[in-house]
Structure formats: C-alpha cells, structure tokens
C-alpha cells in the first residue's frame, strides 16, 4: 500500500526559511490515498550530497545540491509501503554552509513535529560533512521519546551506485520502529545505526564513513529492517537543554593545536566575539604551551570557559588546570555542548561538571 507525500517549503532571502507550516497529507501524482493503517513519518531535507545532481553518472564530486525532497522520495517508492511520508524542504545547502539560522529553524520545526500524536518519528536528510554536529545538537535540544533519524549520502543522487535512496528508506523504516524509541537522535548510513553522541565521519569519500568511536554501533539493518544490539538507553552524562525560541546561540570557536601554533589565536577569537574556546588538542587534549598560557590569561580575565578535545579519532581528553577536558567528545561536538552551556548561563565550574559527567563512573575497589 502506498502513502502520501506533502512538501511545505520554507522561504527567506538566503535559505528560504520561515516558521514551520503544518504537514498536510495530500494526494501527489500517481500515489494512492492516505493509508490510515500506516504510521506517519516527517522528513526534513536540508541539502547535501544526498540531494546532489551531477552532469555524469560516474562523477561523485563537482555536483550541485539541486534534488528536491520529492525527487528523494520518488527514488525510493518502497518507503511508502512502511509509512505515510510528509516533509519540509528546510534548505538546499552543502552541510559546510549549515549555520545558526538554519539550525535554529530546524530545531523549532522538529520540536513541533514530534509533539504531534500522529507522527511516529522524523528523518533528517543532511550533508555528511557536518551531519554529526547537527544531529548531536538535536539530540541535546529536542526532548522526545520518538526517533530522530539523521541520514546522508556519500554519492550524489545521479551516481551509478547512489547510496542515498537506501539510506533514506532505512531511516524512514527506523522512524516507525517501536524499538527505536527512547534512544535520542541517531545517525543512519550504510546499514549502520549509531548514536548521535558517538557517531563521527571517518572517511572523506567512502560510503562506509560513519562509525561510533569506542562505544560501538547501536545496531544494523538487514533487509532494511533495524536490529538493535542493546535495549534503549541514553549515554551517561547527556542531558536536555531548553532553547525555546533563542534569538541566537553564543559564538564558540575551535582552535586546532599544532606545532608552532600562533599564540595570538585565542585572543583573536575572543576579540571577534567568541564566548568560549575549544582546542582540538594533541593526543589526550594537549595544547601548545604559548597558546595554553594565552588562553589561561583570557580565562582569568574574562571568566571564559576553555575546553580541550582530541583531534585523533578515539580516546579521552583530560582536564589540565583551567582547561576542561571534553571526555570522549571530539572538538566539533565539544563546541556544541559548550555553546549550549554558555547559552544556559552555566559558570566555569558548572561547565566542568557538565563535561566531567560524560565519563563513565569508575569501579573503585
């Protein structure tokens, strides 16, 4: 049986954004009428490679972000056997250009959608490059038991072996699955199910790019059906942030630690408006001495929180003096958590406790 598709567009000068309109279940093209026995899933499309269109089916780069959500759904009519699908075209950008304007509108729309009693779950299609950031942001800011499934593609929709259609199909199916509830936002690519807290992109070109660091995957797909390894649970230390209708989130800058690092970078970031700093640190969060001392002066003078993460894929970043270790979070996710903490008005001690809570409780003899 086949369900329905409705698209509500956002509109503004830059990204065609506005407040979310209600999803309308209407007949489209050759699709049959709304099927009352099927659950309802809402897709939020933002652009990215999954919406990419190239001049050649053999090209996986040099494409335009042009495919509409209607085209994404038309490419996988099988999904309509599992759900009535509606949605919003939020933006048409590569995820490198995702910004606060889009992110806050997306948060508002997703939050409103999951409150609807007739909506089973939501799916977000997004560029893979910053998918982990947006999905982690939604994990922390949308308070719901319903599945929020974030997906992407590594090959444009016009490629011979485009991976987007299967990823969208699996995500829609997962958004209807009862055993996908109470897990927070999740990433879904290449037959893998990962938590937004741990998922990170690991390869610039290969479809098998997202993995789940030391924590491991939540589950996998077989014949497009999700199977989970664990009962539903939230990672230790994660919490919800209420950002109901913020005008803007505070600026948090990431500084990449390296040999001969310019010690003027921390001061430059703060002078340009940063309300917090995150170092992508060496090893377990190490920072070049001169940059460390410069950040310490800023911290002492302005009370700005400074967090260090690890630029290597796995491991833990440790607290060192005034610098707060990000635990298992990489630098882009540490930025999001610090941003929400500063928005909430937490002081430096409270920020430290927030990151420290991410560490599993040790077994003490």
Strand pairing partners for 219? 193, 228
Residue found by looking up tokens 């998922």 in the block: 199
Alpha carbon distance 326, 336 (integer Å) = 11
Alpha carbon distance 111, 117 (integer Å) = 13
Give ∠ CA 251-257-260 in degrees, rounded to 5.
Answer: 125
Chain length of the chain: 365
- Of 42, 46, 49, 213, catalytic: 49
Alpha carbon distance 360, 122 (integer Å) = 30
**141 is an active site residue:** no
Query: Which pairing describes strands 84-93 and 40-47: parallel, antiparallel, or unpaired?
Result: parallel
Alpha carbon distance 31, 4 (integer Å) = 6
3-state secondary structure 190-259: CCEEEECCCCEECCCCCCCCEECHHHCCCEEEECCEEEECCCCCCCCCCCCCCCCCCCCCCCEEEEECCC
42 in Cβ contact with 123 (< 8 Å) = yes
135 in Cβ contact with 187 (< 8 Å) = yes
- Exposure of 146 in the CB half-sphere (CA atoms within 13 A): 23
Alpha carbon distance 5, 249 (integer Å) = 33
Tell me which residues are annotated as active site. 49
């Amino acid at each position: 049986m086949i369900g329905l598709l409705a698209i509500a567009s956002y509109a503004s000068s830059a990204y065609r954004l506005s407040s979310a309109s209600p999803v309308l279940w209407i007949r489209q093209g050759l699709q049959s009428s709304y099927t009352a026995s099927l659950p309802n899933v809402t897709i939020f499309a933002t652009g990215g490679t999954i919406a990419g269109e190239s001049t050649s089916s053999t090209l996986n780069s040099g494409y335009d972000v042009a495919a509409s959500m209607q085209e994404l759904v038309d490419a996988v009519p099988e999904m309509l056997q599992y759900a009535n699908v509606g949605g919003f075209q939020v933006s048409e950008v590569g995820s490198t250009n995702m910004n606060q304007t889009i992110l806050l509108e997306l948060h508002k729309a997703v939050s409103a959608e999951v409150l609807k009693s007739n909506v089973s779950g939501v799916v977000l299609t997004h560029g893979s490059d910053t998918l982990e950031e947006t999905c982690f942001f939604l994990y922390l800011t949308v308070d719901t038991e319903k599945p929020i499934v974030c997906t992407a593609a590594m090959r444009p929709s016009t490629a011979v072996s485009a991976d987007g259609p299967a990823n969208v199909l699996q995500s829609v199916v997962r958004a209807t699955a009862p055993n996908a509830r109470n897990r927070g936002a999740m990433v879904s690519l290449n037959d893998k199910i990962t938590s937004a807290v741990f998922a990170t992109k690991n390869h610039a070109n290969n479809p098998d790019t997202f993995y789940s660091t030391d924590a491991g995957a939540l589950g996998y797909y077989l014949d497009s059906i999700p199977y989970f390894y664990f009962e539903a649970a939230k990672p230790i230390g994660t919490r919800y942030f209420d950002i109901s209708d913020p005008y803007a989130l505070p600026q948090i800058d990431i500084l990449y630690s390296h040999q001969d690092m310019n010690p003027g970078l921390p001061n430059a970031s703060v002078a340009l408006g940063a309300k917090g700093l995150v170092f992508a640190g060496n090893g377990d969060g190490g920072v070049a001495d001169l940059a460390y001392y410069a950040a310490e002066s800023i911290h002492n003078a302005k009370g700005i929180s400074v967090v260090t993460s690890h630029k290597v894929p796995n491991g833990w970043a440790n607290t060192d003096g005034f610098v707060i270790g990000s635990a298992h979070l990489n630098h882009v996710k540490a930025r999001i958590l610090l941003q929400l903490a500063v928005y909430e008005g937490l002081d430096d001690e409270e920020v430290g406790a927030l990151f420290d809570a991410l560490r599993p409780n040790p077994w003490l003899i």
